[in-house]
Structure 1
């Protein structure tokens, strides 16, 4: 049995600033820190004791969320840039209104390789090409219970990698998730199926 819990980071300063996230690196807000503690407590309820690995994006809003989980489980965090949010290039850190005015949505015939008209931005394929190998390497590790802390856009590709969906089939894929959500993925030992047990649950957070 393999249980993988994928967490989207909790509220970050850029949310309150109304600025574009991506690789723009901001800390958690006071609420974000509280929600990270609540997320850690919910994971403890779901997992209990035992051997647990914690993997995280290296951006501060994700690593801060992971640190709260690590304290609760008394386990270290393994950080990697491969689990980062999609980069919005020169839009990172600018007002969200700037991105909205310059953003060009991907056309149906080029969902994977369109850069949305933003200089330096990653395409969906760019993100997938770093996320898929990272998730594969994490899942191949012998630990039976693992936690991944990542970002809203990246969550979809983490799930896709887990489900063995080919990158070329992810162009229209989207699993919307609020900050601090928990997605539970499980591989059974007999059929070897990879199930989505729960998706983007936020019932542990105050609203």
Structure 2
């Protein structure tokens, strides 16, 4: 049985400052650090003692700090993969959310949604974003771990899960799986049929509210 635990980083400074995230390198807030410790404890309870674990994370500060909390408790050294970053919002990153809202061009209801850049210079299209997440997942899944932990971002989680269940990239134009900050999504593949399951999406029961 193969299990993959996908973590979305908890509260970061860009959340409370009202600025655009993306590749803006915000760090966890004090509350986010507490939640990262809670995530680590929840994963320690799920992953059997002595199991060989792979831990890979986006290389931005907010995901690095989350992965470091997890790695310390599980005794695993994180690997950093920039392909697991959130979608890039180009020149909007680090600017007030209102700045982006005034310039944002929503994708069309039909047509080329994958190639849409939302009217923001330097922003990634959905096609480019998905392609790099799929490439990261192909490498991650090639590693023979029974338990793998992936630390990433809210929007990126959609493409992590889509890659896991084998959705063709060209079918991703309308897909959006919403998971809260600080959540754990559990993916599993059985050893007999090799069916891939989405066991839990965006679970936050481990967080104290």
TM-score by length of 1: 0.98
What secondary structure is seen at the aligned counterpart in 1 of 2:155? helix
Within the alignment, does 1:203 sit opposite 2:205 as a pair? Answer: yes
Deviations 1:68-120 (A, max 9, x none): 00011011000011000000000000001111111111112121010000000
Match of 2:60 in 1: 59
What is aligned with 2:185?
A: 183
What are the residue-to-residue correspondences of 1:50-199 with 2, within 5 Å?
A: 50-107=51-108, 108-199=110-201
SS state of the match for residue 152, structure 1?
A: coil
Instruction: Give the distance between the partners of 1:47 and 1:109, measured in 2 at CA.
Output: 43
**2-side partners of 1:159 and 1:87: how far apart?**
19
Cα deviation for residue 133 of structure 1 reads: 1.4
Q: Which residue of structure 2 lines up, in the alignment, with residue 48 of structure 1? A: 48
Q: Residues 8-47 of structure 1 correspond to what in structure 2 (within 5 A)?
A: 8-47=8-47
User: What root-mean-square deviation, in Å, do the aligned CA atoms of Structure 1 and Structure 2 show?
Assistant: 0.7
Q: How far did residue 48 of structure 1 move?
A: 2.6
Alignment deviations for residues 156-204 of structure 1 (CA, whole Å, 9 cap, x no partner): 0000000110000111111111111000000111111010010000011
Unpaired segments ≥5 residues, structure 2: none
Tell me the CA shift for residue 17 of structure 1. Answer: 0.6
How many residue pairs match? The answer is 207
- Report the alpha carbon displacement of residue 136 of structure 1 after superposing the two structures with TM: 1.3
Distance 2:5 2:126 in 1: 23
Unaligned runs of 5+ in 1: none
Alignment TM-score, normalising by the size of structure 2: 0.97
